[in-house]
Amino acid sequence: MLSIARGELIQIFRNRSVLITSFVMPVAVSAFFIHQHEIFAKIGSLGYIAAIVMFTVCAFGLYASSVTTLASRRQNLFLKRLRSTAAGDGSILVGLVLPVTVIALVQVAVIMTVLGVVTGKPANIALLAVAVLATVAMMIGLGLATAGLTNSPEHAQVTTLPVSLGVLGVATWVGISGTDELPLLKRLLPGGSATELAVNAWNGGVAVADSLLLLAPTLAWVIVAVVLASKLFRWEPRR
């Protein structure tokens, strides 16, 4: 698994398009929100900024990159060759997505730290970390499922848009409007409960026990994504 991850990390730094998707775009968007934090804090809150930063990195840096990686490795038959080795299916998939996952986690940690330095630290750092980890798990699961529908790295630019834009749209809706209206709908949509959890963690004012209940919808999406991935994922090129 680690040897696969090491090789994949080398490939990431050699691929300009993946570098742009994984590094430049999330960092640029996050820098814009942090630079304009006073404006966006008035529109939503500082917690809203934290949630948008989290989903920007996870949607583009993690989700889209993992789909592109898996589609590329399938197209050049690398996945098929890996299955002929002693590595199990789980180890292969973990090894391939581990580098982009670690990169995304480091990015989120650094960007959140910068946001905290600029605006003041979050009310509950541990709860914020839980929100990030739950979001990462959900986006990895959705990435595996989407990879099953993606024929090539070029096709990934199309297949990843609905989920990427969808979770960012939900995060914006929930982060700005809150959950006083249509709470069930907002929390059940992918990214809704994770956004509320991140907002609560940053802004405070909500009991930790109440906030932890928001993990349930996100974890349910993880289960749904894993089930879809088990049905849709292919190890050989799609025809």
Question: Could you tell me if residue 207 is inside a domain?
Answer: yes
Count of C-beta atoms within a 10 Å radius of residue 73: 22
Nearest to 159 by CA among 70, 34, 55, 224: 70
Rg of the chain taking only CA atoms, in angstroms = 18
Residue 201 lies in a domain: yes
Q: Give kind and range of the element (H or E) at residue 180.
A: none
What are the DSSP calls for 33-71, one per residue?
A: HHHTHHHHHHHS-HHHHHHHHHHHIIIIIIIIHHHHHHH
Mean of pLDDT values over 35-56: 88
**What letter does residue 20 receive in the DSSP assignment?**
I
The average pLDDT across 27-46 equals: 82
Residue 56 confidence (pLDDT): 92
Task: Provide the residue type at 215 as one letter.
Answer: L
pLDDT digits (tens, 9 = 90+) for 125-160: 999 999 999 999 999 999 999 998 888 888 888 999
The answer as to whether 237 is a domain residue is no
Q: What is residue 160's three-state secondary structure? A: coil
Tell me if 239 is assigned to some domain.
Answer: no
Query: Computed from CA positions of residues 178, 183, 185, 191, in that sequence, does the dihedral angle turn out positive or negative?
Result: positive
The secondary structure of residue 86, as a DSSP letter, is S
Residue 168 is part of which domain span?
A: 2-232
> Is residue 193 predicted with pLDDT exceeding 80?
yes
Residue 144 lies in a domain: yes
Q: How many domains does the chain have?
A: 1
Mean per-residue pLDDT of the chain: 87
